[in-house]
Amino acid sequence: PAKRESQALRITILLLSGVLALFGSIATHMGGAGPLACLVVSFVAALKWRQNDEQMNDEIQSRLKTLWLIFQPFLFALIGTEVKVADMRADAIGWALITLAVGLTLRTVSSICVVFGAKLTLKEKLFIGLSWLPKATVQAAIGPIALDMARDKADPRLIEMANLVLTIAVLSILITAPVGAIAIAIMGPKFNDRVVWLSDTGPEFGCVKWLGKLPDVGPDWMAGVDFVNPIGEGTGLHNEHRLFYAPLNHASLVPVLGLMKADDYLCPNNPFNGDLFTDSDAHVVTHLRRYKKNKT
């Protein structure tokens, strides 16, 4: 089929598979398997589509993102209607917060340990740990299942316990989502990679604010860089879509392959360091090293 028809067909099959898994699990009295099956189907589909046609996969992802923006409010609004603040027990909330804190701590430490062998700086590893703090979508999807099953059995004790499970799920959303978003927004610029772009007029330093692929640009990974000098264009907009924020004329989209880490560039053993500068450019080297010191 044509490319556009293939995209529509894949999206339709994916959505219908999710609906079938969700209602099929309810019909077979395996309600908890439905949301999990939706996640697995989406993951496997994205993995295979990326292998076959990465550009089409990115375009499908963009369309599904639009659908998610439409249906996301319904998901969180419906789970919110099930929570009754007046019925919350103080002791249960206290234990729930302790459990949540322990779980998030272990989750953060585990995510850092997973990337311990990767060639990442300590700041980058810490940022990965922070990025795993938010918990919302899965909790909103699976949280009410226990309550539905308890209501089917009409057991008051099970309903009370299921309400507690739902309350903990909602608390995890209310606490981790904003805390994680704030942590990423604040610490992201501090932990972002400082990079160098070797332009025709010399090296230009900047800070990576965005990473991704743009279907209208090509299949290569692009980096949104906030440069120290005003050598870019705009403030981080691309096709009227905000990718990142930067001062006017300091933002630029650069292929990742065209960048190198600032720490690697300023390393005394780096061959580029000496080749690009002459004695008359000593003030530039001084400025770059001062920039490194100030940003550390």
Please tell me the total number of residues recorded for the chain in this structure. Answer: 296
Let me know whether 86 and 181 are in one domain: yes
- Greatest C-alpha distance within the chain: 84
pLDDT of residue 192: 56
Do 155 and 184 belong together in one domain? Answer: yes
Where does 102-240 show beta strands of DSSP type E? 194-199, 202-212, 222-227, 237-238
Same domain, 213 and 170: no
Q: Which of 142, 176, 191 is the last residue of a domain?
A: 191
Q: How many domains does the chain contain in total?
A: 3
Residue 294, pLDDT score: 40
Question: Given 48, 81, 114, which residue is the final one in a domain?
Answer: 81
Same structural domain, 185 and 97: yes
- Domain check: are 229 and 278 in the same one? yes
DSSP character at residue 219: S
Residue 84: per-residue pLDDT: 66
Tell me which DSSP letter residue 248 carries. T
Same domain (yes/no): 38, 63: yes
User: In angstroms, rounded to a whole number, what is the distance separating the alpha carbons of residues 251 and 206?
Assistant: 9
CATH value at residue 246: 2.30.30.190
Q: Confirm if 189 and 210 have CB atoms less than 8 A apart.
A: no
pLDDT of res. 191:
62
Cβ-contact 265, 203 below 8 angstroms: yes
| pLDDT tens digits along 211-268 | 787 877 777 788 888 888 888 878 888 887 888 888 888 888 888 888 887 777 776 6
The pLDDT, as a whole number, for residue 213 is 79
Same domain, 265 and 186: no
pLDDT for res 37: 86
Could you tell me if 227 and 148 lie in one domain? no
Residues 135 and 202 grouped into a single domain:
no
Give the pLDDT of residue 295.
38
152 and 236 in a single domain? The answer is no
Q: Do 2 and 54 reside in the same domain of the chain? A: yes
Domain ranges, residue 63: 1-81
Residue 171 shares a structural domain with residue 232? no
pLDDT at 207: 85
Q: What pLDDT is recorded for position 3?
A: 53
pTM, full prediction: 0.51
Taking the chain (296 residues) in runs of 10, the rounded mean pLDDT of each run is 66 88 83 80 83 71 80 74 67 82 87 79 78 74 75 82 80 80 70 76 84 78 87 83 85 86 69 45 43 39
Which string of b and e fits 139-178 if b means at least 16 CB within 10 Å?
bbbbbbbbbebbeeeeeeebbeebbbbbbbbbbbbebbbe
Domain boundary among 81, 98, 121: 81
